[in-house]
Chain A
Amino acid sequence: KAGVTQTPRYLIKTRGQQVTLSCSPISGHRSVSWYQQTPGQGLQFLFEYFSETQRNKGNFPGRFSGRQFSNSRSEMNVSTLELGDSALYLCASSLGGTREETQYFGPGTRLLVL
């Protein structure tokens, strides 16, 4: 079974621009979670989607948004980029049926904001 894939792997943007990141979960997984990893704040939860619905959201400003499609693929969007948005963005998928599942992570998208 193929693992979680994320595109693009690397991205350079300038302040004020917007960016869209994509995540394809493991086949059969219906839950996708997104995380931001920075040296200062570590790994922080952004949001989780299941069956095209956002079930959970972390403490990030409204510039961070996401969505999920009927095939469980997910995208996250960051508008009006700030320098502090430079980070590794990780998505993870799980079956989605319970709260106690293992999450399987993709390789991440490294975003640099100049």
Chain B
Amino acid sequence: SQQGEEDPQALSIQEGENATMNCSYKTSINNLQWYRQNSGRGLVHLILIRSNEREKHSGRLRVTLDTSKKSSSLLITASRAADTASYFCATSGGTSYGKLTFGQGTILTVHP
């Protein structure tokens, strides 16, 4: 079963607009990661935020983490058509090695 939910399930925007995706999880975590997947291919790692961090930036990406609400958000600024993909959050927690628990993902479509 999945760790949590992602919201929205699908998002359609125009190039240049910002895209915000949300992720909720159920149990305590060590860290939370965001991945991108293009058309059923492999996952590309975007950013990792540790449980003691509240915000992290990487290029056009901004991730926030609220452990009290067990939620995270991914903001992509100035979206491009090439950002069209599925975005997944994944958590690792407890004493478990090598296991990421994924959300259901958000399908982002950026129209040129």
Q: How far is the CA of A105 from the CA of B46 in the complex (A)?
A: 12
Contacts of B78 in A (CB 8 A): none
CA of A31 to CA of B98 in the docked complex: distance in angstroms? 7
**Which range holds the interface residue count of chain B?**
20 to 34
**Cross-chain contact B40 with A48 (CB below 8 angstroms):** no
Q: Does A45 contact B (CB under 8 A)?
A: yes
Q: Mark A5-48, 1 if CB is under 8 A from B, else 0.
A: 00000000000000000000000000111010100001111001
C-alpha spacing A35/B90, complex, angstroms:
12
Contact A42 B99 (CB under 8 A): no
Task: Looking at the assembled complex, report how far the CB atom of A26 sits from the nearest CB atom of chain B, in whole angstroms.
Answer: 12
Complex: chain A residue closest to B40, CB-CB: A88
Q: Determine the chain A residues whose CB is within 8 A of the CB of B95 once the complex forms.
A: 99
Give Cα A49–Cα B96 distance, bound, in whole angstroms: 12
Determine whether the beta carbon of B98 is less than 8 Å from that of A90.
Answer: no
What are the nearest 3 A-B pairs in CB distance? Answer: A48-B98, A43-B102, A105-B43
Q: Which residues of B contact A (CB under 8 A)?
A: 2, 30-31, 33, 35, 40-45, 48, 50, 88, 90, 92, 95-105
